[in-house]
Structure 1
Amino acid sequence: MLLNSLTTRDKIIIALVLISLCVLFYFAVQERNELINKRQQATVMGQQQATDIKNLQNQLQISNQNAQMLADFIKQAQASQIQPVNHFTVQAPTVQVATDQVASRINAKDPTLPPQALEKTDNTIVTPHQLTQAEIDKAKKENEANKGTDKPKINEEYGVNVFKNNNYRNWEWSTGYGQHCGKGYIPIGLQRNYSKDNAIEAEVHLDTGMPKNVTGWEVKQVWKTDKLFFMF
């Protein structure tokens, strides 16, 4: 048995490492949950604020790379180059009131909203949107078709956009316990995500003795994919 081959010192070190990892994991989860809950609150921004990289960084507390990607996406959406996933109607005297109402309903997890608006993501941005000419023409046609019905009139100048965004993490770190040729070691890894789908990782192996000595190391390029060999 592998466990029987370990010395008492190795067993103690493994136990201490596991306990330390459990404690770190507990506090990391608590901190992450608090951060997630804070970030998942809908943030109201003006149309220009939502495409300002510095403003996105400051208000959402995200990296420059994430802010750039989000700003580019919002610009495309505002230009109708990206079509919305869903539509819903709100009644309000002004577009700003409508924007605030939508944000409040998202934060209150209003079940009458579309599921996409309530989806858990890293960030939620609610912003007024000046309609493009194509959107204005569409709104006018819908209003014309709804004449004589109890359906509310659609604003032919402005709408409200809801953006749901997931960020990628710049850095990741890891540690644990492993064995090689019957000898225990502690791996410590650091990964730099330099794009959404690519990263580089460095890992060193420390022996279980005191003082710690480096027994090995590795550097890896990491590719991130939605499917592995087109199977999953």
Structure 2
Amino acid sequence: MANKFTCTECNFLNCQTRDKEFPRKCLTTSAENEAILQESLALYHDDPLVAKIMQASAQVEGQYYGQLTRVEEIIVFAKKIGAQKIGLASCAGLIRENRIFASILRANGLDVFGVLCKVGAQDKCDVGIAERDKIKPGNYEAMCNPVMQAKLCNQEKTDLNVISGLCVGHDSLFIKNSEAPVTYLIVKDRVLAHNPIGALNTGHSYYKRLLDGVTLNKEDAKL
């Protein structure tokens, strides 16, 4: 079956500029997507939280484009949506950085509820992870517990949750279980100093193997 034409295959990006033609199979102009477009627009108008977040995001972008760091943008965004208590879902390996971030939030008048990924202190085997899949088999190895992180934030009634360094997949579980809106501070990449775009910027050279379909030496698709 042929792959469906999507935005990553488009060279026009006319949706951004409106100074060219839309491609024939564009997701924007497809008749089958018209209902989805109207549903989306209705949410921006009719859902107060969606409208507030959308407007605040545009204001942060428009008023401070290229001027603020991500740390500063989160502070401004939080204040624009009226968030007072920030949930900070922290990776244990980045606790030093996240302590600094928490201090910065507090210095700017925001309350912080920080919760570490290892909260609950359970061994990985307790949730069905095989001993062989530990970093150091045969030793106690605390599982990451993103569901508990999210539920503790829910219990604290945080207004905005910030993911800072959670593992791939653990971040998905946190987002799925969070009642408050979620944004990112740090995206984990242990190899590239938490700068995953580095693999894309060097996709023509050092990381060309990724385009050749070579990612791991192990059987990466098996549990």
Q: Which has the higher helix share?
A: 2
Give yes or no for TM over 0.5. no
Q: Which has the higher strand share?
A: 1
Greater Rg over alpha carbons, structure = 1
TM-score (norm 2): 0.20
TM-score (norm 1): 0.20
